Amino acid sequence: MTGPKPLSNILAITPYKGGQKLDHGWKLSSNENPLGCSDKAVEALTKAAQHLELYPDGSAFALRQAIGAKYDIDPDRIVCGAGSDEIFQLLGRAYLQPGDEVLQSAHGFLVYSLVAQQAGAKLISAPEKDLRTDVDAMLERVTDKTKIVFLANPNNPTGSYISYSEVKRLHAGLREDILLVLDGAYAEYVQQDDYNDGMEMAHDYPNVLMTRTFSKIHGLAGLRLGWAYGPESIIDAVHRVRGPFNVTSVAQAACLAALNDDAFVAKSVAHNNGELDRLKPALEEMGFKVFPSVANFLLIDFGSEKRAEEADVFLRSKGIVIRDMKAYGLAHCMRLSIGTTEANDDVLAAFNDFAKAS
């Protein structure tokens, strides 16, 4: 007997594998906030947990109002999802059909390829220069079939970003019927003057959507909440295809509290950027090649897949798990999330031992 057969494009998908953890030691494989989350978020979640029998507000009204007030944007042009991942999936559902093309930069976030595959669309990857998005290479690959362009800025797993003027140049080269998604998952970390999250573009243009998440700077990855801001027509399309109660009540409550805990966000940014500035030169001093990063992780080039695997095994033996990059076509690299000061001290000691042992 044979059961129901999934679509062939679905069977072609390699399921997403999250970062691994050890029973003991440091999990530095998923770009999580090492400081945890805001106490106020936990408080609000605990309070909301008194009424788990109630369905959530399907429109996430209060949270959207709060986001709107925080960023001075129209709450009616915001939609929430179970992580920004879900929003990407919903965009695929609303805009893609078999044969369409999804364009990304070569080492773009893995979820973009899943979105394309689910829809039977084709993923087109534009080559990068020094692991940075190359706007000209992207524009050269736009065709009649291009429907969605995904740009993570900064990008995961490379840690690189492109300037606002480059983002604008990318947009200017796209037809108006092509949806440009500006994924700002790490926007809060970036201090560079020439960086911009693209909120204004999402305000001004009929084909730009900006996404944000509570998973990274707010340290609420476990709750699954992301949001998007953009033109009414795109927000409307996402509402049509989302589940009626796609975001839980406890997540909405906790995220609302986290959103306004500016002190926690500032502390997280200061810790991260301070540790980035400490770790990168220290690793380079030991002889490792480390790419510049404006996010909460570092991409390290070990020169070969074999050496990267050896590093992985060695670090695990020291109780440290980082992320292998095989799924990103960067098998010679590993991605290290910024941890607590204590974790990072252990990381430096372990890398130093690894460098000396070989």
Ligand X SMILES: *Cc1c(COP(=O)(O)O)cnc(C)c1O
Contact residues toward ligand X (CB under 6 A) are: 31, 83-85, 109, 152, 156, 183, 185, 213, 215-216, 221, 226
Phi, then psi, of 327 in degrees rounded to 5: -65, -15
Residue 81 CB, shortest distance to ligand X, in Å, is: 8
Whole-Å CA distances, 255 to 46, 139, 192, 266: 12, 36, 26, 16
> CA end-to-end span of the chain, whole Å?
54
Q: Decide whether 183 or 312 has the Cβ nearer to ligand X.
A: 183
Secondary-structure percent of the chain, ordered helix, strand, coil, rounded to 5? 45, 15, 40
Q: Decide whether 138 or 350 has the Cβ nearer to ligand X.
A: 138
CA-atom Rg of the chain in angstroms: 20
Q: Decide whether 37 or 350 has the Cβ nearer to ligand X.
A: 37
Residue 284 CB, shortest distance to ligand X, in Å, is: 24
Whole-Å CA distances, 125 to 88, 105, 175: 17, 5, 18
Residue 152 CB, shortest distance to ligand X, in Å, is: 4
Residue 358 CB, shortest distance to ligand X, in Å, is: 31
Q: Decide whether 159 or 231 has the Cβ nearer to ligand X.
A: 159
Helix runs in 14-163, H state only: 39-48, 61-71, 83-95, 110-118, 135-140
| Neighbouring residues of 307: CB distance < 8 A, sequence distance ≥ 6 | 332
Q: Decide whether 220 or 350 has the Cβ nearer to ligand X.
A: 220
Residue 212 CB, shortest distance to ligand X, in Å, is: 8
Residue 38 CB, shortest distance to ligand X, in Å, is: 17
Q: Decide whether 216 or 242 has the Cβ nearer to ligand X.
A: 216
